[in-house]
Structure 1
Amino acid sequence: MRLTSGSRRADVELLALHHQRLHRKLVGAPRLARSVLERLPAAAGRAAQRNIVAGRGLRSLVTPVAGPVRLPTHRPETPDRLLGYYQLAQRRYDIPWQILAAVNFVESRFGRLTGPSVAGALGPMQFLPSTWDAYGRGGNIMDPHDAILGAANYLAASGAPERMGAALFAYNRSDAYVDAIRLYAREIAREPRNFYIYYFWQVFVATTKGDLQLTGPGAEGR
């Protein structure tokens, strides 16, 4: 699947945003999620369940914020270029490209948020500058190509692909994070078109008054 026209890109972006909003609703409403999952065909239900489990785990790591939200956002690199970078990193470091895509997705929504984070992490793969100095091979922490190769280098040095779980835990010390990355990567591997759906998921921030959408069609935080 390649996005070859502006109209097709717009259609996929709107479909993905609709999918994301439904997903976020189900992540925050377990009883509703059970009811919906019971009514879905078996294969669709399993896929939805994996996304809900991943989203619920990641949400458990987040504390809703109060007050105004001011986060600088950016236009991400095109999905086809990102795919090329993941595949280059896979060839060089033997890290499955779907894992790298999932890390890019969770860490920064494919580069829409580049930090600095609360911990000081930067770039589309959210490296601490000290870690980048060790594994970035002299590249630019903010550049998608360099950051993806740096992430693959770090994961390989941390034991991947043989010890992928341990390598991902070294990247972000959270079992929920590790599980989410593997679930999203599994969904991309199962159906590569899911990469494009995830690519168009937008930046939402959990606040004490509900979700705030910062990017994409209908964004409130512009």
Structure 2
Amino acid sequence: MVDLSDIPSAMNEQVAMMEGILIASATGGSPDNHVYEHLRREFMADPTIQNLLPDFVRTYRNLNAFWPFIKNEAGTYAERRQIISGAFTRLLDHLESRNSAPSDQSASDALVSFDEQGVHSVWTKAIARRNTDPEGAITIARTLLETVTKRILDEMGETYSDKDDLPKLYNSAAKVLNLAPSQHTEEAIKAILGGAMTLVNGIGTLRNRLSDAHGQGGKRPVRPSPRHASLAVNTAGAIATFLVETFKEREGR
């Protein structure tokens, strides 16, 4: 019996779990055949994913059938790990591309009309994704802020580099809008603007830090939850709206 609560919701994490189960099976570990069979059925039901699965996953329905294959393919654990990991590269690359591109595009498209309504539209889409795809929602939140800050810098005639990260872009936009803490003397205003800058810095690194799959020491990598996504999305939406409103006010004057 498979406990579905042990299976991650994100497709790329499910694929990584299957890869780990197969590696365990091939290197003397304690694999979970029931989870492998469950994941295989789910993947085989998706025509796109099925075509990108390793041949041995499509061929072998369970780990007992897989073992003779991998045993004959390579004699050492290191070679077996390399064979299995290499076979999943194409599928994982596809999933990473699928998960990132739509998020970036949704923010850019909605902000063709650069106003509070455009921000709200992206904000709503990100909120809708926070439960089913927390990482995607966080990506939208970050991209929303990047899109808004770049648009402001473009409109104000300021230059920036494609290599500039979100904190640097926000800092530049804040300065041209007179929103940098150093541009104010009132302590309450400085505190609010400084807090906004800190939050933006956090959003700029949140997704990468939480989804880092290269942790050391055998610890399970931390994954963003819906509450992390809600915090990032709501923060990004509020700050993006504030930036757009400030820009529109200056433009009106």
Write 1 or 2 for the structure with the bigger share of helix.
2
TM-score category (smaller protein): under 0.3
TM-score (norm 2): 0.22
Between the two structures, name the one with larger relative contact order (CA 8 Å, sep ≥ 6): 1
TM-score (norm 1): 0.24
